[in-house]
Amino acid sequence: SRGYRVELTPGYDDRWGYLAGTDSDRRKQLLTALNDPACRGILCARGGYGGARLLEDWSWIGHDPKWLIGFSDITSLLLSLSQQGISGVHAPLLTTLAAEPEWSVQRLFDWVEGRSLSPLQGTGWGGGQASGVLLPVNLTVATNLLGTPVQPDFADTILALEDVGEAPYRIDRMLTQWRLCGAFKQVKGVAIGRFSQCDPPVNIPSFTVEEVLRDRLGDLGIPIVSALPFGHDGANAALPVGLIAHLDGDRGLLSLDPIAPG
């Protein structure tokens, strides 16, 4: 209805164990889309697991720049792509787009069609204001990339975090790893999206995920905004990777640089 022609890559519904096809076949599917001059964007079908496996023998160099759209497990591909200076979009997948509210769908199309994006309202934790390169990630996937060639440069970034289905102690363990490896020392601000299905285990002493986030992030001395509308199990606002973002920890706002006319 928006005037786009949608093509499904051959083998998009393949199965190989818990993966959507062998690594070789999935690389071929991605290469087919990247090398097709008529294809101006790649909307990933789903997340799950397996994206990082494609990066063991992979280079984006030599392919036409085009939008790569997705989130969750697609974090690994988005981070790899950003290392080449090419922006992807942390946004809904093909399998989640239909459940998005209209404003979220419109936001995604606004971006790919060259229109500026409205600020997102969350809950400010204080810390003043900061600007930096927007780096939206799934916490679990990004944690597993620390210490690898795909680990991003965290210097002068606004880190946007979300996750799903992780117990509070697992969130604690991952954030502690980030602290120990020094990643947070370079980050200018943290934007927190939805941590869904991250409830404490029943009848076991635990912190809530909110308590863990405040304990592990609250002393960083940088602007932090939580309850932003992105992530799993709800509205997943499109966040372009690599754009300059502005985080206001006092007013609870995440805003992006406007697109230049022309």
pLDDT along the chain (262 residues), means of 10: 78 81 85 84 85 82 80 93 84 94 96 94 97 98 95 96 97 98 97 96 91 98 98 97 97 90 49
Q: How far is residue 110 from each of residues 54, 104, 115, 116, 240, measured CA to CA in Å? A: 30, 10, 5, 7, 11
Q: State the catalytic residue, choosing from 162, 166, 226, 246.
A: 162
| Measured distance CA(164)–CA(139) in Å, rounded | 9
Q: Phi first, then psi: give them for residue 62, nearest 5 degrees.
A: 95, 0
Q: Are 78 and 142 in contact (CB under 8 A)?
A: no
Reference 238, options 40, 126, 103; nearest CA is 103
Q: State the catalytic residue, choosing from 76, 226, 232, 246.
A: 232
| Measured distance CA(223)–CA(56) in Å, rounded | 35
pLDDT of residue 178: 98
pLDDT of residue 262: 46
Q: State the catalytic residue, choosing from 72, 76, 80, 226.
A: 72
Amino acid at 5: R
Residue 215's CB is within 10 A of a number of other CB atoms, namely 13
pLDDT of residue 199: 93
User: Domains in the chain, ordered, with CATH?
Assistant: 23-256 (3.50.30.60)
Active site residue 63: no
Active site residue 162: yes
| Measured distance CA(6)–CA(199) in Å, rounded | 38
**How many CA within 13 A on the CB side of residue 221?**
2
pLDDT of residue 202: 87
pLDDT of residue 51: 86
Active site residue 232: yes
Sign for the pseudo-dihedral over CA of 30, 32, 37, 43: negative
